[in-house]
């Protein structure tokens, strides 16, 4: 009614629905349970993001209060056969992009949100210990005992030293069996399709040349169940579906132009691949 409103929708589903059923719009397997606000505060820009994150955690805390009680003590629910079951509701998975996952885990972008690895250690062939929620809560408790969380400048300075974002009350703190290192998962759009577009697809453009790769896609014969692109460089909008369809045909598209050489890595024992022109 007022216009110029922005909200953050929160969708909820249960984990025992088959993925094929869940992804059909007509199945209505997802329920929009809340619209959380995205306010703008009249403060210094350095404090805007942390205040927004605190509001978001507080809203989700209120919305999920009943689920937390059911996760701890259980509740009776009806199944599709109209039988009453005694159920528990732990947080199994939270689907979000990387910035939102960092906000949920209450850590800065200079560390991993699911392991104890720091930014300088990203890419190491080392399996680091998981960043359990209990460790984050312990750091927050010690920090809150030392400083008032609402003295933002001092609190944020100390929080960043411990790689914390400045949110003092995560919504998952009293949700039994809920650990960010377990329920925060890499979703397919960004960790799969977007990853392909940002890295391997760019390598193919460099190898073949952008115009040559575009021409290869234009001259492909149309085939049932295979997406035909009238060029991939001038597409108006590239969504996850387009990225997925390009992945399906990229090997056939560059075949004959490149040779793939493999050689073992000295340290990791992995096999590396190198694309070269014939």
Q: How far is CA 115 from the centre of its chain?
A: 15
74-124 pLDDT, tens digit each? 999 888 788 999 999 999 999 888 889 999 999 999 999 889 999 888 878
Mean pLDDT within 10-27: 87
Taking all residues of the chain, what is their mean pLDDT, rounded to a whole number?
84
Q: Report pLDDT digits (tens) over 186-223.
A: 777 777 777 887 888 888 888 888 888 888 887 777 77
147-180 pLDDT tens trace: 999 999 999 999 999 999 999 999 999 999 999 9
Measured CA to CA, the distance from residue 241 to residue 247 in angstroms comes to 10
Intra-chain end-to-end CA distance of the chain, in Å: 63
pTM of the model: 0.74
Question: Is residue 272 within 8 Å of 265, Cβ to Cβ?
Answer: yes
Residue 6's pLDDT is 77
Residue 44 and residue 69 in contact, taking contact as beta carbons nearer than 8 Å:
no
pLDDT of residue 267: 47
151 and 141 Cβ atoms separated by less than 8 Å: no
Q: Which residue has the higher pLDDT, 271 or 197?
A: 197
Q: CA 14, CA 271: separation in Å to the nearest integer?
A: 39
> Which residue is listed with tokens 């940002």?
198
pLDDT given for residue 159 in this prediction: 94
> Per-residue pLDDT for 247 more than 80?
yes
pLDDT-derived band at 50 (thresholds 50, 70, 90) equals: very high
pLDDT given at position 4: 65
**Residues 217, 229 contacting (CB under 8 angstroms):** yes
Provide the pLDDT for residue 278.
Answer: 46
Find the mean pLDDT for residues 42-68.
93
State how far the Cα of 96 lies from the Cα of 240, in Å rounded to an integer: 15
Q: 9-13, 52-56, 223-227: which range is least confident on average?
A: 223-227
- In the prediction, which pLDDT does 236 show? 65
Q: How far apart are alpha carbons 163 and 108 in whole angstroms?
A: 5
* pLDDT above 80 for 130: yes
pLDDT band, very low/low/confident/very high, at 270 (cuts 50, 70, 90)? very low
- pLDDT at position 272 is 42
Angle subtended at Cα 167 by Cα 165 and Cα 173, rounded to the nearest 5 degrees: 120
Q: How far apart are CA 65 and CA 68, in angstroms?
A: 5
pLDDT number for residue 258: 54
What is the pLDDT at residue 25? 83
Average pLDDT over residues 42-67: 93
Using pLDDT thresholds of 50, 70 and 90, give the confidence band for residue 275. very low
> How high is the pLDDT of residue 2?
61
Q: How large is the average pLDDT for residues 118-146?
A: 91
pLDDT confidence band for 251 (50 / 70 / 90):
confident
């Amino acid at each position: 009614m007022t216009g110029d409103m922005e909200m953050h929708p929160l969708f909820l589903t249960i984990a025992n629905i088959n993925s094929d059923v869940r992804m059909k719009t007509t199945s209505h397997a997802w329920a929009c349970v809340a619209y959380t606000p995205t306010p703008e505060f009249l403060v210094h820009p350095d404090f805007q993001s942390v205040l927004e994150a605190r509001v978001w955690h507080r809203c989700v805390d209120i919305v999920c209060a009943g689920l937390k009680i059911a996760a701890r003590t259980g509740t009776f629910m009806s199944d599709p056969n109209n039988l009453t079951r005694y159920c528990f509701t732990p947080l199994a998975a939270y689907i979000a992009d990387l910035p939102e996952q960092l906000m949920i885990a209450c850590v800065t972008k200079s560390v991993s949100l699911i392991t104890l690895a720091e930014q300088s250690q990203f890419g190491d062939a080392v399996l680091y210990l998981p960043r359990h929620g209990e460790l984050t809560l312990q750091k927050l408790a010690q920090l809150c005992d030392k400083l008032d969380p609402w003295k933002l400048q001092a609190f944020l300075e100390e929080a960043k030293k411990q790689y914390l974002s400045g949110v003092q009350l995560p919504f998952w703190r009293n949700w039994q069996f809920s650990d960010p290192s377990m329920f925060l998962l890499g979703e397919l759009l960004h960790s799969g399709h977007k990853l392909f577009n940002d890295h391997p697809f760019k390598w193919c453009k460099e190898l073949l040349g952008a115009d040559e790769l575009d021409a290869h896609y234009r001259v492909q014969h149309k085939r049932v169940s295979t997406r035909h692109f009238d060029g991939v460089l001038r597409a108006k909008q590239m969504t996850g579906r387009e990225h997925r369809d390009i992945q399906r045909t990229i090997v056939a598209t560059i075949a004959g132009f490149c040779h793939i050489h493999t050689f073992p890595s000295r340290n990791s024992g992995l096999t590396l691949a190198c694309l070269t022109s014939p």
